[in-house]
């Protein structure tokens, strides 16, 4: 019944893929549906690249044994229904290249087994839910080409507070350099808000009180004049990328005086680069290409 409700929400099926979804054929034999052989329960819904259009049915949340939802490269629109948060066995949630809108639902944090989220190339707005920090098995998250805000603070939390670190996180600069009012971040990249207070000042910019939350992230010249700049944003974005690649915080004890995360990586260029890259990245560098194929 959940699958038939899913079909009812489809308004566009140019290839007639869902024609097999009827009572004359067992649902485990329907195109895009996979079941476990023993219990005949749906374990995967894989309908990539069929040009399907319509809304995502909240009844999808009734597929309680599903481990993989792959609806990439279609034309699904509207919001991701809150009902999908009931899929406690879900490991892969892949919806890239659709026209989904609204915010990333907090209910996704209920997926205790979730390893990969790909919501890239949609029209999602809002923030990455901080509740994602409870996803202890989450390894890869892709959110590029969405108009997301407050990404920097959420990424900082995910990367360091999760028991299982995020080993691949696809974020584009255009997604990050905006605050919740769609105004450019100051040169501390918004990360200072994790540890210190911010005040709004003229021209839609914000300035932190002191630099106690920005140490290691803010461009050096920001500490001198306290003035925001696009160059400072680029510097801060670069530091965040280095943090992701090395697995080291710019505020670690090893970085003292003139020795910082930037110089740590610069010294390793180019002959010793692999020595500073977080080894956990290399073991999974080809995984996304495999499941996308």
* pLDDT tens-digit map of 94-143: 999 999 999 988 888 888 899 889 998 899 988 777 777 778 888 888 87
- 202-240 residue pLDDT tens: 344 444 444 433 556 666 666 566 565 666 667 777 777
Q: Which residue ranges does the chain devote to CATH 3.80.10.10?
A: 1-176
Q: Which CATH class is domain 1-176?
A: alpha beta
Which among 29, 68, 63 has a CA at the least distance from the CA of 46? 68
Q: Are 158 and 129 in contact (CB under 8 A)?
A: no
Answer whether 0.85 is exceeded by the pTM: no
- 55-106 residue pLDDT tens: 999 999 899 999 999 999 999 999 998 877 688 899 999 999 999 999 988 8
What number of other Cβ atoms are within 10 A of residue 117's Cβ?
Answer: 25
């Amino acid at each position: 019944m959940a699958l038939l409700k899913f079909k009812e929400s489809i308004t566009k099926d140019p290839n007639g893929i869902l024609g097999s979804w009827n009572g004359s054929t067992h649902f485990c034999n329907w195109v895009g549906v996979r079941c476990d052989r023993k219990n005949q329960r749906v374990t995967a819904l894989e309908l990539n690249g069929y040009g399907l259009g319509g809304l995502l049915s909240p009844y999808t949340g009734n597929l309680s044994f599903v481990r993989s939802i792959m609806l990439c490269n279609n034309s699904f629109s509207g919001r991701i229904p809150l009902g999908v948060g009931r899929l406690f066995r879900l490991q892969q949630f892949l919806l890239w290249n659709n026209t989904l809108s609204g915010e990333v639902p907090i209910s996704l944090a209920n997926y205790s087994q979730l390893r990969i989220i790909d919501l890239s190339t949609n029209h999602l707005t809002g923030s990455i839910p901080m509740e994602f920090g409870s996803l202890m098995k989450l390894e890869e998250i892709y959110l590029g080409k969405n108009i997301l805000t407050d990404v920097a603070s959420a990424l900082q939390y995910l990367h360091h507070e999760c028991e299982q670190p995020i080993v691949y996180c696809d974020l584009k600069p255009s997604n990050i350099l905006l605050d919740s009012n769609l105004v450019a971040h100051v040169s501390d990249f918004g990360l200072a808000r994790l540890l210190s207070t911010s005040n709004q000042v003229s021209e839609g910019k914000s300035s932190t009180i002191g630099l106690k939350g920005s140490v290691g992230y803010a461009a050096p010249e920001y500490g001198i004049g306290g003035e925001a700049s696009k160059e400072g944003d680029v510097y801060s974005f670069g530091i965040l990328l280095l943090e992701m690649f090395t697995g080291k915080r710019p505020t670690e004890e090893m970085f003292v005086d003139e020795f910082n995360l930037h110089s740590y990586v610069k010294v390793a260029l180019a002959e010793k680069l692999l020595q500073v890259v977080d080894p956990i990245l290399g073991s999974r560098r080809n995984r996304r290409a495999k499941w996308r194929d």
